[in-house]
Structure 1
Amino acid sequence: MEYCFGVDIGGTTVKMGLFSGEGELLEKWEIPTKKGTDSKPLLKAVGEEMEKCLSRKGIKKEEIAGVGMAAPGPVNEEGLLRGAVNIGWGDVFLGREAEKIMEIFPVFIGNDASFAALGEFTFGAGKDVSSLIMITLGTGVGGGVVLNGQVLMGKTGTAGEIGHTTINPFETLTCNCGKKGCLEQYASATGMVRMAEKFLQESNKPSPLRQLDKITAKDLWEQAKKGDELALDITKYVSHLLGMAIANACYIVDPEMVVIGGGVSQAGQFLLKMIQEAYAQHVFPHCRDKKFALAKLHNDAGIYGAAAMVFEKK
Structure 2
Amino acid sequence: MPKKIDKEDLLADLRRVYQELDSPPSESQYDEHGQYSVSVIRNRFGKFTEGREAAGIPNPDMRGGNNQIPPEDLLDELQRLGKELEKTPTREEMEEQGAYAENPYRREFGSWSEALLAAGYSYDELNRPSTHVAKRVSVECTVCGKTQQRLQSDLAGKQNVFCSRDCLHTWRSEEFTGDSHPLTDRIEVECEWCGDTLDRKPSVVERRTYHFCCYDCMGEWRSEYRAGEDAPAWEGGGELYRGPNWLKQRKRAVERDNRTCQRCGCTEEDHFEKYGRELSVHHLTPVREFYREAGNEEPDFAEVNALENLVTLCVACHRKIEQLPVTPQFSQS
Q: Shared fold (TM-score greater than 0.5)?
A: no
TM superposition score normalised by structure 1: 0.21
Relative CO higher for 1 or 2, CA cutoff 8 Å, sep ≥ 6?
1
TM superposition score normalised by structure 2: 0.20
Structure (1/2) with the larger helix percentage: 2
Give the greater-gyration-radius structure (CA). Answer: 2
